[in-house]
Amino acid sequence: MRGKQGFWRREREKKKRETETETESDGEPAAAPAVAWQVQVSNTSLASPSSRLPNWMEMTADQRFLLLFIFSHYFGPDLKDERPRKSVFQRIVEGLPPYATHELAGSRIRTLEVERVYYYVLRMAKKFDIVERETLHKFLNYGYLHSPSQDSNADLGQFPDLFPLHLHRQYRFEEQYQVIENIVFINNLNTSFINTVVATRFKNFTGLEFLFLDAEAALSYCRICGIADNMIEELHDGSLLRALCRDQEKWEWEI
């Protein structure tokens, strides 16, 4: 008798599970796939190369904050009649109207120099707060960045939102190197409009005491050897180190 009761109890439980599964398939999706996706995302290092998430989607909130702070505060549009230069963020805070093609100065800056500024600013930051070359390169070229962050200080948009592609074209200049049009580096940015809490957070991450940057050092910074290009000659065997850095940078950035 007990055996039969146990059998029917198991059958009822089985039927109940089947009914719940059918209900989930007709209505809201079952929870199991979501759990499986969470496991897949959190274990990307164990997945095959083809199934791993792209680097720019693995960006942390702190990396996003630093990336967008640097490019929205230390860079701005190069306009003919705007002096002093204003960063993207300053223009937003001041509520300035969008600029048109005829207002642009027609200048070019090497993409490599833009990337150097990023690594120069973060030269004292912790390694895990700095994005890798591939991530930075894709962000600058295509604007790829993970979905909007919960961090309002970091959620300023993609690179094409900061510098619209129809006004700031990117291309290979004279078949030599990549350039971005009508963008200017602002090493002595106006800090009066920057929130104190945000500025303090940025300084804590970067180790910078002041937001002012040495323009020459920033634009010539070598990510590989960790010093500015104009300081290499002061070192022993400086010419060899310079050649090594330039060859490596050409391989990584200019191809």
Residue 57 lies in a domain: no
What pLDDT digit, counting tens, does each position of 108-129 carry? 999 999 999 999 999 999 999 9
Cβ distance 230 to 216 under 8 Å? yes
Q: Which domain holds residue 239?
A: 222-255
Q: Are residues 187 and 247 in the same domain?
A: no
Q: Residue 59 has what pLDDT?
A: 81
**Torsions phi, psi for 118 (to 5 deg):** -55, -50
Q: Are residues 94 and 173 in the same domain?
A: yes
Rounded distance between C-alpha atoms, residue 110 and residue 216, angstroms = 14
Whether residue 81 is predicted with pLDDT greater than 90 in this model: the reply is yes
Whether residue 45 is predicted with pLDDT greater than 60 in this model: the reply is no
Q: Residue 165 has what pLDDT?
A: 92
Q: Are residues 189 and 72 in the same domain?
A: yes
Rounded distance between C-alpha atoms, residue 182 and residue 160, angstroms = 13
More confident position, 189 or 143: 189
Residue 80 lies in a domain: yes
Whether residue 84 is predicted with pLDDT greater than 70 in this model: the reply is yes
Q: Please give the tally of structural domains in the chain.
A: 2
Q: Are residues 86 and 173 in the same domain?
A: yes
Q: Are residues 204 and 228 in the same domain?
A: no
Cβ distance 216 to 142 under 8 Å? no
Q: What is the mean pLDDT of the chain?
A: 74
Q: Are residues 167 and 239 in the same domain?
A: no
Q: Are residues 193 and 93 in the same domain?
A: yes
Q: Are residues 147 and 244 in the same domain?
A: no
Residue 17: pLDDT band with limits 50, 70, 90? low
Three-class secondary structure assignment of 6-67:
HHHHHHHHHHHHHHHHHHHHHCCCCHHHHHHHHHHHHCHHHCCCCCCCCHHHHCCHHHHHHH
More confident position, 61 or 49: 61
Q: Residue 187 has what pLDDT?
A: 98
Q: 92: burial class by Cβ within 10 Å (0-12, 13-18, 19+)?
A: middle
Residue 27 lies in a domain: no
Residue 5 lies in a domain: no
Which residues are CB-neighbours of 188 under 8 A, at least 6 positions away? 212, 213
In the three-class reduction of DSSP (H, G, I as helix; E, B as strand; rest coil), residue 134 is classed as helix
Q: Residue 11 has what pLDDT?
A: 60
Q: Residue 15 has what pLDDT?
A: 55
Place of tokens 């010419």: 239
Q: Are residues 67 and 180 in the same domain?
A: yes
Q: Are residues 232 and 118 in the same domain?
A: no
Q: Are residues 232 and 182 in the same domain?
A: no
Q: Residue 99 has what pLDDT?
A: 97
